[in-house]
């Protein structure tokens, strides 16, 4: 199953399910990093932009945003939202492993565990190489991933559920086929005009790697790794951090 298939039904439900996601913290973390680098150009490529929620927040914060995603369904929703809010954001459907945008950017982001949808280390390296080719000299690439701790000790065997009037879901996590991987089995129950609920089932596969493996792939692609931090916090990394942030630059 590829990433696009995984989001076939998920796209229309994504915003409701992500209502509590810490978008403000992603934005604040990025702004701290751009301020330290004293970047004067705020053109930004948002890789794995999904339905565009963060892209719109970035645009509101003064960034000139291009969003790229593999899912046509996600991008349709993103474009509709941007039009409704009168925001000038460019959305492009491409695979992050094979970006071909014809331009470079001073800032590239891949937030909300986008990189965790790459199931092989080769695909991780291809993605970093693709992003490197689209980053300006001296530019910033920042992304986050689930930590090995989260995949192996938080997700494995976990179950989550939500019961709302218009939308309910059951989310079960199982050991994946690869080391440090997880399969998310989701069942959604969506209220229709008839008063009955329609069920949709999805399977999402995610994988992570050790910090050293990500650093090796980044450095072999040409990046200089400035920091590896956890859970939106700058400074020393907690061994039980669940979300890892990699701040990298492309040297001039």
pLDDT at res. 167: 87
| 6: confidence class by pLDDT, cuts 50, 70, 90 | very low
Higher pLDDT, 14 or 236: 236
Q: In angstroms, rounded to a whole number, what is the distance separating the alpha carbons of residues 50 and 71?
A: 7
Q: Burial of 232 by CB count in 10 Å (0-12 exposed, 13-18 middle, 19+ buried)?
A: middle
Q: Burial of 188 by CB count in 10 Å (0-12 exposed, 13-18 middle, 19+ buried)?
A: buried
Same domain as 101, residue 14: yes
Same domain as 159, residue 195: yes
CA–centroid distance for 156 within its chain:
20
Q: Count up the domains in the chain and report the number.
A: 2
Looking at the predicted structure, is the pLDDT value of residue 46 above 50?
A: yes
Looking at the predicted structure, is the pLDDT value of residue 85 above 60?
A: yes
For residue 227, the tally of other CB atoms under 10 A from its CB is: 14
Same domain as 214, residue 200: no
CA–centroid distance for 218 within its chain:
17
CA–centroid distance for 78 within its chain:
14
Q: Are 73 and 7 in contact (CB under 8 A)?
A: yes
pLDDT at res. 9: 58
Q: Hey, is 75 helix, strand or coil?
A: helix
pLDDT at res. 5: 43
Q: In angstroms, rounded to a whole number, what is the distance separating the alpha carbons of residues 129 and 114?
A: 16
Token code pair at residue 60: 């509101």
Looking at the predicted structure, is the pLDDT value of residue 38 above 90?
A: no
Q: Which of 24-28, 72-76, 234-238 has the highest mean pLDDT?
A: 24-28
Rounded mean pLDDT of 134-159? 96
Looking at the predicted structure, is the pLDDT value of residue 188 above 50?
A: yes
Range of the domain at 165: 150-206
Same domain as 198, residue 99: no
Q: In angstroms, rounded to a whole number, what is the distance separating the alpha carbons of residues 6 and 102?
A: 28
pLDDT at res. 10: 64
Q: In angstroms, rounded to a whole number, what is the distance separating the alpha carbons of residues 66 and 61?
A: 14
CATH number of 185's domain: 2.20.25.110
Rounded mean pLDDT of 155-177? 92
Same domain as 79, residue 129: yes
CATH number of 231's domain: 3.40.50.150
pLDDT at res. 14: 74
Same domain as 112, residue 159: no
Same domain as 78, residue 172: no
Same domain as 198, residue 145: no
Same domain as 91, residue 184: no
Same domain as 103, residue 39: yes
Looking at the predicted structure, is the pLDDT value of residue 202 above 50?
A: yes
Same domain as 21, residue 133: yes
Q: Round the average pLDDT of the chain to a whole number and report it.
A: 92
Same domain as 221, residue 198: no
């Amino acid at each position: 199953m590829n990433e696009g298939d995984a989001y076939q039904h998920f796209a229309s439900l994504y915003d409701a399910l992500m209502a509590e996601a810490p978008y403000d913290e992603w934005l604040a973390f990025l702004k701290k990093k751009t301020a330290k680098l004293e970047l004067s150009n705020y053109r930004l490529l948002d890789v794995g932009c999904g339905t565009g929620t963060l892209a719109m927040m970035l645009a509101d914060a003064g960034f000139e945003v291009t969003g790229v995603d593999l899912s046509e369904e996600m991008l349709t929703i993103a474009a509709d939202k941007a039009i409704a809010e009168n925001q000038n954001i460019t959305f492009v459907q491409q695979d992050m492993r094979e970006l071909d945008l014809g331009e470079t950017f001073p800032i590239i982001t891949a937030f909300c565990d986008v990189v965790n949808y790459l199931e092989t280390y080769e695909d991780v390296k291809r993605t970093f190489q693709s992003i490197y080719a689209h980053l300006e000299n001296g530019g910033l690439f920042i992304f986050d991933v689930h930590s090995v701790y989260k995949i192996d000790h938080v997700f494995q065997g976990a179950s989550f559920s939500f019961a709302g009037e218009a939308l309910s879901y059951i989310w079960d996590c199982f050991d994946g086929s690869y080391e440090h991987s997880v399969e998310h089995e989701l069942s959604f129950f969506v209220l229709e005009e008839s008063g009955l609920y329609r069920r949709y089932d999805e399977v999402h596969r995610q994988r992570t790697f050790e910090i050293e493996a990500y650093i090796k792939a980044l450095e072999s692609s040409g990046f200089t790794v400035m920091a590896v931090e956890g859970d939106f916090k700058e400074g020393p990394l907690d061994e039980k951090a669940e979300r890892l942030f990699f701040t990298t630059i492309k040297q001039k």
